Structure 1
Amino acid sequence: MHNIAKIPFLLIVISCVFFIPVSQGKGWWDEKLKNPFLIGEGVLKVFIWDIYELRLFSKTNIYDRNDIFVLEFEYLRDTSKASVIKASIVELKKLNLSKTKLEKWEKYLEKSIKDMKAGEKAALLFRPNLGITFYASDRFNITIDNVEFANSYIDIWLGENTARPKLRKQITGQIK
């Protein structure tokens, strides 16, 4: 009889563990995307180093480029602002942008990206036909209302021609 009394308690514990919304604890960006679904996740590796874990969240359980979504980064190692900007510019140069546009976009990155420590989180809130908001932890957010920049920047990870197609498939839920 004693073990039977433990069953309701175990059911409550299991409910708490398995039915907590994904957004719980993300308070710094989830006000923009209520009750988000985790679409997929993966780790960006450079040579032998894991740089960050990526998670893609959406309002539905399917990735749709024409709907609002959040791409969350959990840094696994200290990463400098300069290295993120440099890597971003390398990817953006592949788009054959004009020098003027590339310089303008580099200024966007300068004001939107910060040094990150291992364990810290950042996120990109993508709003189709509006722009992109950069979040870092709970104290930093910058919105860039430039649709072309937003699409090009998010394409680094989610574009059809990304340099990391396997990672794209993982975070868009195409492969686990």
Structure 2
Amino acid sequence: MRDLKALVFVIWVLLLAMVSSYGHANPVANYKLVGKGQMTWFWFDVYKAKLLTPSGNYQKQTWPLALELIYQRDISRDDLIKATKDEWQRQQLNYQAQWLTKLEQIWPSVSENDSLLLFVDSDGVSHFYYNSVWAGAIKDPNFSGAFTAIWLSTNTLKPRLRDQLVGAVNKS
């Protein structure tokens, strides 16, 4: 009887895991590449970036879209969050402190070949995936605009990367 209860429990846990992961399946599997580029800081490769949309075209502040970063070095969560805050301040964007707190809960530290994917759904909700696994969401549509501005604003720190991402230069 105890073996039967254990088996039922294991089946229940597996079903629960399947149901919970189903709601967060890859939302951009059929998206098309808008553009891609390489983020380099001085002589260090930091990450490769890709921008994807349903049509393969970019329109400012239009959702849905996805931005994927594939890291080429180890970076702590705290450094990722600090860089985000620093760029919002540099661009003089209005941001809310609770966004940074939420990112602390969602983001891990990253290592070489890790990926962080931002998927902004049609309602402007930002969903984060870490190595293809859903990590959390920020439901404030204002966050989506401020966060994507780091890469996609004309005031970005890296205009060449922006141009590559939005398809203003050759996609190769």
Q: TM-score range by the shorter chain?
A: 0.7 to 0.9
* TM-score (ref. length: structure 2): 0.77
Structure 1 residue 72 displacement after superposition? 0.6
1:3-61 deviation digits (Å, cap 9, x = unpaired): xxxxxxxxxxxxxxxxxxxxxxxxxx773134111111011111110100001111112
Q: How many pairs align?
A: 146
Asked if structure 2 preserves the Cα contact closer than 8 Å seen for 1:67 and 1:128, the reply is: yes
* TM-score (ref. length: structure 1): 0.75
1:66-116 deviation digits (Å, cap 9, x = unpaired): 13111011111111111111100101123253xxx5421210221121111
Q: Runs of 4+ in structure 1 displaced over 2 angstroms?
A: 94-97, 127-130
Gaps of 5+ in 1: 1-28
Q: Is residue 58 of structure 2 the alignment partner of residue 63 of structure 1? A: yes
Corresponding residue for 2:81? Answer: 85
Q: Give the 3 Å change call, closer, same or farther, for CA 34–74 of structure 1 in structure 2.
A: closer
Asked if structure 2 preserves the Cα contact closer than 8 Å seen for 1:39 and 1:55, the reply is: yes
Report which stretch shifted further, 57-66 or 165-174.
Answer: 57-66
Secondary structure of 1:117's partner? coil
Q: Give the 3 Å change call, closer, same or farther, for CA 35–96 of structure 1 in structure 2.
A: closer
Secondary structure of 1:169's partner? helix
Secondary structure of 1:31's partner? coil
Equivalent residues in 2 for 1:64-143 (5 A)? Answer: 64-65=59-60, 66-94=62-90, 95=92, 97=94, 102-143=96-137
Query: Aligned equivalents of 2:28 and 2:84: distance in 1?
Result: 25
Query: Aligned equivalents of 1:63 and 1:30: distance in 2?
Result: 23
Query: Aligned equivalents of 1:47 and 1:38: distance in 2?
Result: 27
Identity %: 26
Amino acid at match of 2:40: K
Alignment root-mean-square deviation, CA: 2.0
Gaps of 5+ in 2: 1-23
Amino acid at match of 2:114: E
Corresponding residue for 1:37? Answer: 32
